[in-house]
Amino acid sequence: MGAARTEHLAAFLLTASVCGCGARLASIDERVFLVEGAGGASNQLVLDTGHGPVVVDARLDPHLTDEINRKISAATRWETPAYVINSSGLPYRWLTNYRFPKAEIIASAATRRFMAERSPEFLKDLLALEKPPAWAAEINPVFPTLDFESKLVLRTPQFQIVILEMPPGVAPGNSVIFIPEKGILYGGDIVTRGTAPILRYADPAAWLECLERLRRMPLRTVAPGFGRAAPPSLIDEVARAVGAIETYDGGGIPPEIANLWNEDAALKRKLDEYLAAAKNSPERRSKSATAR
């Protein structure tokens, strides 16, 4: 395992292990909540549909997942979620799916394939850390029970939940969630602030294509996959950072990256190695071979 890959995973595990005391269920609209992971940990979106909550994304730490589920139950007055949507196949978005035994798990077909292919690698990475978390041995990968191509719409008494598969900007099959009646977008790994998503599988050109599509949507609020909710102008900030990734050739950290992902110390220390890993990922090599 590369040093950068190990360090970035370790950083996510560290924030996951400490954010239980700070994870906050923030209301961003009527019946719409953002679980804000403290200290740079990943977010979740919670939608109170009136027919059981829909939770977008799981977490890494099963004990923190249980704690947040209790908060969701108290806020929505439902014992368990009806659906869990995995917006990405990266480990902090789905490894605790098994803590939702009564929920239908949803993801794009490409994300499901990515999970199945990469889960042994993710688990190996966890156990190879210098200090593996105590819960690492508990992880029991559960893959989505319902998958889709391109788009899936859940119609509820309160609003529509539109799940849109995006180009493979951060990982294959990565998706965003759009609530058209409220103009709310959950950006998953495509739109983040404070902390960058894992870049090992990233394709900056495809990522910019994702962001351009999101710019054209009628949005009022963006709920990022990391960090606090923001106006739609956050999409432009992310586009500038991704553009800096695409043109990065070493040296100091570009200000577009330093300003947006300002909580991600591991990223700043190892940016060269992260980008080298992304450029040499099997997905990118396969794409280059196909193009030739």
Contact 198, 90 (CB under 8 A): yes
Q: Could you tell me the CA-to-CA distances from 148 to 48, 86, 166, 180, 187 in Å, in that order?
A: 22, 12, 12, 19, 18
pLDDT score at 131: 81
Return the closest-CA partner of residue 153 out of 165, 141, 166, 162.
Answer: 162
- Measured between its terminal Cα atoms, the distance across the chain in Å is 29
141/145 Cα distance (integer angstroms)? 12
pLDDT of residue 172: 95
Determine the pLDDT at residue 292. 31
pLDDT computed for residue 3 by the predictor? 53
- Alpha-carbon gap, residue 224 to 234, rounded angstroms: 9
Q: What pLDDT is attached to residue 90?
A: 94
Domains of the chain: 3-291 (3.60.15.10)
Rounded distance between C-alpha atoms, residue 91 and residue 121, angstroms: 10
Which residues are within 8 A (CB) of 290 and not within 5 positions of it... i.e. 6 or more apart?
A: none
Query: What would the pLDDT profile of 80-137 be if each residue is shown by its tens digit?
Result: 899 999 999 999 999 999 999 999 999 999 999 999 999 998 888 888 887 888 888 8
Q: What's the confidence (pLDDT) of residue 18?
A: 41
Query: What is the structure's pLDDT at 1?
Result: 43
User: Which residues make Cβ contacts (< 8 Å) with residue 156, sequence separation at least 6?
Assistant: 47, 49, 50, 51, 54
CA–CA dist 112, 107 (Å, integer)? 6
Q: Are 168 and 214 in contact (CB under 8 A)?
A: no
Please work out, in degrees rounded to the nearest 5, the angle formed at the alpha carbon of residue 173 by the alpha carbons of 15 and 119.
Answer: 55
pLDDT in tens, 235-252: 999 999 999 988 888 777
pTM for this model (two decimals): 0.90
pLDDT at position 135 is 87
Divide the 292 residues of the chain into consecutive groups of 10 and give the mean pLDDT of each group.
Answer: 53 48 81 86 93 94 89 89 97 95 97 95 84 86 97 96 97 98 98 91 94 98 96 98 88 88 81 68 52 34
